[in-house]
Structure 1
């Protein structure tokens, strides 16, 4: 990932995930907030997000601010653009399959 890490309390991150990215409370109970925070990045602008992530190159038809915020890929929170990578969050879960905890 290419943006800055989100530096909010766990309660604030939980609230952002629920309100801005529509992650259910049930899902948040199954997964840790720390894992979700690993999939969150901040950017100063849509342009910075598009440039650093390569989103515009990979998804040219889905690169407008209206599309990105309307589909909850990115959300403006307190003047900061936040991107939640569901792919990274889901990969964290699948990478744990088969782990042995002693």
Structure 2
């Protein structure tokens, strides 16, 4: 089954689907008020996001720390960001990027 990248006004969704129509239906089910603005069939069956591109240095430590903070905060993003800033000493923007990138990866 092909992998599709589906961009809406507020989200980028990566999902397997049989075809373009099925991929669009994923958006309709999950976000009925959003419109598909770009739909791309990926050339391979995997998706990779570079942590360096997200501005996250030293990826292994960030993941473990960010996921630990998300767990302690029970998924509360703002609380997790505060915890992350306190535990790592990074600024607000770095903490936000670390927590948000780990939220989308599933913690």
- TM-score computed with the length of structure 1 as normaliser: 0.28
Highest RCO, 1 vs 2 (Cα 8 Å, sep ≥ 6): 1
- Between structure 1 and structure 2, the one with the greater Rg is 2
TM-score of the pair, normalised by structure 2: 0.27
